[in-house]
Amino acid sequence: MADYYTLLTNAGIAYETACKAAGVPIKLTQISVGDGGGAVYNPAATATALKREVWRGPLNALFQDEKNPSWLLAEVTIPPDVGGWYVREAGLWTDTGILYAIVKYPESFKPVLATSGSGKEFYIRSIFETSNASLVTLLIDDTVVKATRAWVMSYLAEELGKLDGKQSVRVAASTNIVLNGAQQIDGVAVVAGDRVLLANQTLVKDNGLWIVANGDWVRATDANTSAKVTPGLTVMVEEGTANGDSLWHLTTNAPITLGTTALTFKMLAGRTGIAAGTYKSLTVDEYGRATAGANPETLAGFGIKDSYTKAEVEALIAKASALPVGSIVAFPVDAPPPGFLELDNSVKSSATYPDLSAYLGGKFNKGDEGVGNFRLPEARGEFLRGWDHGRGVDLGRQVGSLQADDYKSHSHRYFDSVAANIDPFGGTGAGVVNGVVTPPATGGYLATSGPDSNNLTSPTTTVNAGGNETRPRNIAVMWCIKAWNAPVNQGTIDVAALAKEVERLKSAVPVGAVLAFPTGIVAPGYLELDGSVQSIATYPDLAAFLGTTYNKGDEGAGNFRLPDSRGEFLRGWDHGRGADTGRAIGSWQVGTATYGDGDGVNLPIPNLNDPKHVRVLGLEYDTTPAVVESVTVNGTTTAASQGLNMDGVQTPGTAYIGVDFMRSRPRNLAVMWCIKAWNAPINQGSIDIASLVDEVRNVSGRYLRTRVFKANEIYLPGPGTKKIKYRLQGGGGAGGGSVSTANTQLSAGCGGSAGAYAEGWLTQGFDGQQITLGKGGAGVVANIGLNGGTTSFAGIAAPGGYGGGFSANIVPPLQLGRSPNSELATGGSTINANGQGGGGVTGPTLSLCTSGEGGLSMFGPGGNPSGGASREGEGAVNPGAGGGGALAKPSCPYNFKGGNGGDGIVIIEEWT
């Protein structure tokens, strides 16, 4: 046996066999050194650890020997700041903590400056085979010998000559030249010794790098053999009228035989003959160099065929609006905003309002409008009803047609227990007006309950409405129609003022417009019409529009009140038409009760000798059930407070008037009435306008591409990029490790936390910025996991996650809190977020212990927890997520490391 050797351990052989059977690679990660317990000894294959370990560190390199492929070489350098001991043994360790190979090393002292007076780096190379059939002796590398300066310089020159990058030349020839003597090339007088690039020789095989001589020229020493002239050869040109300050490269593919193969050189960067300046249209070559430029001033000059001309755009703008011409909108005040006309049946000029005239097409004309005019619809005092359009609930109607008020046909029951059955409304003097009941002079009373009811039914009738119309409760609004869109001047409006208004409002739906929404969600820019009090400072435009129309006097300084349209219909403001006289715009109007049928509110009638009943019609109300202040019968007034019974149950021995109230309403659909309150980018209301403006400004433009970066590099934007949206994810922390345990003990690690996350937009300052990817933290055997690295770009930083802690051997229950969240990201214009902490350890019993799961990143969950068998922590698959914790259950003989955290990532969207 050799004096010094490397030996695979039995545990290492078993590990190797298992790896080969499973088809997984052998993972050697660390090397340790020891002093042999104070003396040199012969290691055995049964060893599972060094006799006395003094230092351990990661391997510098692990590779195959060039002379013997069956040999593996492991190298490590011990830093100068550790030492003060002898090295007599060394060990190679797997990533699972198994001693794979043990080395008997020549006794060597490792000094350290602090105690030995001298310090040095200590280099160890171990050579071994992957089988224990024969032992391998440590060898000294005999290729490391002293060399002469000349040999070294020659060797370096020869090797440097094989590189693609060559020393620069003075000039490059644009034409064929004679390879002899000094001469003029590209405006430069070259002399002996100058380097010249020949790229346009008649015999293309003669292209290349040459040295000027008074006689015949020779090829440059860095390009005079086939080995030195390789595809991709590049060279800079220093001087010259046409080719000065340019970069050239060889485009000929391998194989190349110098002097035989035709060599083609092309300019990669440099002058192309185009003058310096700003150009709107460029012609580029295959290398992206501008070879021509122009400044066209028309779409045709740019060759654009899928866009509109100036005239076409102006025509489109004239009609472009989110609220098209012809739309009908309600306004709660009497001043239509620019672009609207009141629907008052007035006659307008078709020349003044061409768009609206074309839209209505004379549909509402009566024949007396005159040439060149048209008539608006009449909506003053009206409710609007959806056109039937074939549904079958309002047959025979044409869109825009008028329909008179009406209410559903019904029957009245009546009976007189004393006299014959006589219709009270047919008797002399019978009737009801505004709650005053006048029984007929002849005939009987109308019975509503008891034995006198339901004995006789009158013929179908629609008479005796309570007021002069049938209506639901409502609010008066001004119905207006959209008549034109800026910038076309239609009407007498000041176009300059309109342009200013449009610029300020940035919306086709003006502040103050009342719109219906079919859900309970209030859209941005709107407020529900709920009668609430709002701040003038918060909503200045709406406050100016409404004024104090709806104020009650208790709003307080600096506030105003909204209309209350909850539960209300909207009715067109009369505005002098005479259909609903006496109404002010925005005023509230009660409904009209027209018919009652069934049990109702019963009021006692004093001073009546018999329990006869009277049906009361035509009472107005504003709440449900109806509020009846008094009822008059035969000149006697009874207060409603006397025996008012709200549930329709009569008190024995008491005479009642039966009063039933039903809302008089058209068919309807429940909507939420809202008012336009503000327009972005003006900050009115609780919306985050700063973020909204930033997002709207940034996403404007055309999306180009998405680029994903998983390695450190300089960011160079792709063609056409004007702004970018970035997403930065820091590296995830590693999970905590675990240690071997006794038969009653447990050990487990927490999950590592995820890295921080930043997101936002950049419109400048991103070109050429360094992208640094934070590496995921590495799991450590029987120790706390390492933290993840910080991901950074252009001043934005997403710190890495924290490594998970771990527990020493402990008797259950085992409780270890989750790792903390990562630090907050900085610099993100939209999002700066922490990374989620990793899961904690739980273990109420020996059999139910679970390690911690890795923290969730923006890209997905971290490593899974270990809860079954003892094993190392699971590494994170998703970028920036935390690694899972390791687990060692009772009687586990191994030390485990936590799972690695996910590496950071940078994703950049490029936009025009």
What is the per-residue pLDDT across 620-649, written as a single tens digit (0 to 9) for each? Answer: 333 333 333 344 444 455 443 333 333 333
Average pLDDT of the residues in 688-708? 65
Given this model, what pLDDT does residue 641 score?
36
> How many of the other CB atoms lie within 10 Å of CB of 838?
45
Give the sign of the dihedral formed by CA 709, CA 710, CA 716, CA 719.
Answer: negative
Confidence band for 602, pLDDT divided at 50, 70 and 90: very low
Residues whose CB falls within 8 Å of the CB of residue 134, separated by 6 or more in sequence, listed in order:
none
For the cut 70, the answer to whether the pLDDT of residue 734 exceeds it is yes
744 and 819 assigned to the same domain = yes
Residue 269: partners with Cβ closer than 8 Å, 6 or more residues away: 246, 247, 287, 289
CA-to-CA distance for 714 and 110, rounded, in angstroms?
42
Phi, psi of 695 (to 5 degrees): -70, -40
Does one domain contain both 51 and 160? no
Which pair of structure tokens corresponds to residue 808? 């020493």
- The pLDDT value given to residue 885: 92
Classify residue 433: in a domain, yes or no: no
Same domain (yes/no): 122, 16? yes
Q: Do the domain assignments include residue 361?
A: yes
**Across the strands, what pairs with 87?**
108
Question: Does 628 map to a domain?
Answer: no
Select from 546, 550, 475, 564 the least CA-distant residue to 510: 546
d(CA 824, CA 856): 15
DSSP 736-765: P-B----TT-BEEBPPPPPPPEEEEEESSS
Report how many domains make up the chain: 4
Q: Rounded to an integer, what distance in angstroms lies between the CA atom of residue 234 and that of residue 236?
A: 7
Specify whether 825 is located in the same domain as 791. yes
- Final residue in a domain of this structure, among 512, 538, 572: 572
**Among 360-364, 808-812, 907-911, which stretch is predicted with the lowest mean pLDDT?**
808-812
The whole-chain average pLDDT of the chain stands at: 76
How do strand 290-294 and strand 281-284 relate by DSSP bridges?
A: antiparallel
Same domain, 173 and 45: no
The secondary structure of 488-539, three-state, reads CCCCCCCHHHHHHHHHHHCCCCCCCCEEEECCCCCCCCEEECECCEEECCCC
Look at residue 784 and tell me if it is in a domain.
yes
Please check whether residues 722 and 854 belong to one and the same domain.
yes
Retrieve residue 759's tokens: 């997101």
What number is the average pLDDT over the span 285-296? 81
What is the mean pLDDT of the segment spanning 773-784? 93
Please give the average per-residue pLDDT across 814-820, as a whole number: 82
pLDDT band at 1 (very low <50, low <70, confident <90, very high): low
155 in a structural domain: yes
- Answer yes or no: do 742 and 872 share one domain: yes
Any domain includes 358? yes
- Measured torsion, CA atoms of residues 890, 893, 895, 899, in degrees rounded to the nearest 10: -60
Q: Which of 129-143, 333-347, 550-564, 843-857 has the lowest mean pLDDT?
A: 129-143
Q: Summarize pLDDT for 376-414 with one digit per residue, the tens.
A: 998 888 888 777 778 787 787 777 787 777 766 655 443
Whether residues 552 and 492 share a domain: the answer is yes
Q: Domain of residue 241: give its range.
A: 149-269
Answer whether residue 755 shows pLDDT above 70.
Answer: yes
Q: Quote the strand ranges of 581-652, DSSP E.
A: 588-589, 591-592, 601-604, 620-621, 630-633, 636-639
Residues 702 and 832 in one domain: yes
Do 246 and 337 reside in the same domain of the chain? no
pLDDT at residue 877 in the model? 93
DSSP state for residue 647 in the 8-state scheme: T
> Which residue type occupies 595?
Y
Domain boundary (239, 269, 299) is at 269
90 CB-near residues (< 8 Å, 6+ apart): 31, 32, 33, 34, 50, 102, 103, 105, 124, 126
Contact predicate 613/447, CB 8 Å: yes
Boundary of a domain, candidates 521, 547, 572: 572
Q: Is residue 513 a contact partner of residue 673, using CB atoms and an 8 Å limit?
A: no
- Judge if 197 and 339 occupy the same domain: no
* Distant-in-sequence, close-in-space partners of 882: CB < 8 Å, separation ≥ 6: 732, 733, 734, 735, 751, 752, 753, 754, 788, 801, 804, 819, 835, 836, 837, 838, 853, 854, 855, 857, 862, 863, 876, 901, 902
For residues 130 and 156, membership in a common domain is answered with no
Please check whether residue 278 lies inside any domain of the structure.
no
Among 121-130, 675-684, 692-701, 829-838, the range of highest mean pLDDT: 829-838
| Closest C-alpha among 397, 373, 369, 374 to residue 384 | 397
Residue 640 lies in a domain: no
Residue 573: which of 588, 560, 551, 590 has the closest Cα? 588
